Each structure stands twice: as C-alpha cells, then as structure tokens.
Amino acid sequence: MGGVTSSIAAKFAFFPPNPPSYHLEFDESCNRFHIPEIPRRDGVDVLKLQTRRGQEIVAIHISNPKATATILYSHGNATDLGQIFELFLELSSRLRVNLMGYDYSGYGQSTGKPSEQNTYADIEAAYSCLKDKYGVREEDVILYGQSVGSGPTLDLASRLPYLRAVVLHSAILSGLRVLYQVKRTYWFDIYKNIDKIGLVTCPVLVIHGTADEVVHWSHGKQLWELSKEKYEPLWLNGGNHCNLEIYPEYLRHLKKFVSVVGKSKGGRNSSKRTKTDADDQNRSEPIELENTVKPHIISDLPELSRISLDSRIEKSKKIDKPEKSRMSTDHVDRYRRRKGLIW
C-alpha cells in the first residue's frame, strides 16, 4: 500500500521539465563532465553523484574565492539545472558564497524517477559531496529549499544540529496541505515539513509572496512561527510563486541574513559542539525520521487555496509593483515560466 501511495503522490508532486533543458557530456581531455548548453567557466564543476538508493544525480558546484559559507540549493518543482544555472551564478557572486545545486532523481540528466524518498537520498549525496570533495564543514553550510525543495531541505536540516542556517523560499507545510485544508498529518502525506521544522536548531529565514496562488502565504507564516530560532521573515507584498527573485528586497534580505549568521556562528557553534569527531561520524548516518516525529495538529490555520491538479498558474496581480531589481529578470523568466502545478 505504501508503494502505491508513493507512486500516486509522485504523479501529483513532481513535474520535471520534459525534455530536459540540458545534456551531459564527458570530456576525456580534462576528465570532467560538462553541460554543452552552459558556457564553461573557471570555478564551476559539473558532477555525477551516486545516491544511497542507487541513482546517479547531476550536481553543479560554483566556487567563490571570497566565500565564507556554502549554500546547498534544492530547487523548485518544474525546473532543472540548465534553467536555473544563471540564478546560481548570481547568488554565488552577490552573496559571496560557494553554491551547490543538484537535480533530483528523474530531473534533468539524473537517473531514476522522482519520489519523496529519492529526494532525501539526493540531498544527502550532495551534502556528502560537499564534505568529502570540497572539505566543507557542517557549520559552514546554509541549506536553501525553494518550494518542493523545502521537503528534502528540512528533512536533512532536522538531522544536522550544527548547520549555519536554513532558507525556506515559498515553502510548503506538506504536500497534502497545498491542495486541501487539513488539520492533521496523515500517514500518506508527503514532505511533512510541519512536523520537522521544530527539529531544526539553526536560524531559519522564511521568504514568501503574499499573493502566492500555488502555495498559500499561510504555509510560510506557520513554518516561521514553528521555527525554534526565527530570523526576521521576508513577506514580499504582491509576490507570487514564480517571481520573488526580481524584488530588490529579496537579494538585500538574503545578503543581510548570510552576513548575520556568519558573524554569529562562532559563539553558537562553540557552545553546542561538545561531541568528538567519532560522534560526528556516527551522527552523519541517515536517520529514519518517520519513526520519531509525532504528527503536529494545525490550530487556527488560515484558509488555504484549493488548487486543482490540472490548474495553470497565472500571473498574480500585484498590490504594489516592485521596482526592478539589480538581479537580471531574463533568467528568472526562462526557468519560471512553466505550465502546471509547480510547488
């Protein structure tokens, strides 16, 4: 029964671009993978990573020589690395961070099929690569989850007590709650973020548009309220599900957040870090959260938008039209203009 439920949920939850926006080639002259649709750049690595569930996923790592942190970015539903690469470049440059993004199983040129459990294995593979290949410490990692990417982000964050920070961008309370107004967690639901957010011990920044017609603003609001270490949220007035990057406040707020958590990491981590290296190795083993997290009952949840599964996203009417951001809108349009339900 569980497998059947997961298969049905996957059909509702995942919309990988078809065909993928990029190809993957191996250059024997330099013994490296590259994406022909993306110009080659110094400091950009294209990787294939093996997951614990037997899939091979594609990841991109962007180095910034001035970086003091590394963002591990879990992207939204109807995009892949080829479409979001330019945004990664801008975030790495403007925020002065290293950045790794990856495609879920069944997305882009990653093998397998999309599923909730596969995305958990996918983000673990990306995180392990950061530690093993690039020598990144847990306390220097910022997990960034956009839309459906908030699922694997919070699953991993709930098991890493020394993370520097978490960013939740248009995040969901759970898969079922995107579609229906429910007041309890059901066993067949997917991405039970509402049950995991309370296990996250690092600072959490929530970003959400007030006119989001795909994932109602109340999702972000409640995730922020349930966070243990809240950071000032960013509610973008009139912002919808697909355009938050073009608001000037988006980049300003992110830059401030990255700076603040960077300055405060020393005291916070030194007070927590009492375990030995052996303890850290044991702690890094995957933990099955489903057996440890108790269902969280929603109280006084605002009305959620009921969106049919075959609906199409329309541009939201903005209350106040934002001034144009310094961040280019061209790449946003390219990877955001998708048909279908794209939480």
- Which of left, alpha, beta for 170 (phi over 0: left; psi -120 to 50: alpha)? left
CA 107, CA 85: separation in Å to the nearest integer? Answer: 14
Angle of the 116-132 helix axis to the 150-157 helix axis, nearest 10: 60
- Residue 100 makes CB contacts below 8 A (sequence gap 6+) with 59, 60, 61, 62, 70, 71, 72, 73, 126, 129, 130
How is residue 190 written in tokens? Answer: 């997917």
Active site (annotated) includes residue 7: no
Which of 230, 175, 176 has its CA nearest to residue 200?
230
The one catalytic residue among 75, 241, 253, 296: 241
CA 26, CA 20: separation in Å to the nearest integer? Answer: 17
Which of 23, 57, 62 has its CA nearest to residue 45?
62
How is residue 225 written in tokens? Answer: 């309220």
Peptide bond into 114 cis (omega under 30): no
User: Cα 120 to chain center, whole Å?
Assistant: 11
CA 258, CA 218: separation in Å to the nearest integer? Answer: 25
Question: Which phi and psi (to 5°) does residue 203 adopt?
Answer: -60, 140
Active site (annotated) includes residue 216: no
Active site (annotated) includes residue 105: no
The one catalytic residue among 74, 147, 150, 170: 147
| Catalytic residue ranges | 147, 212, 241
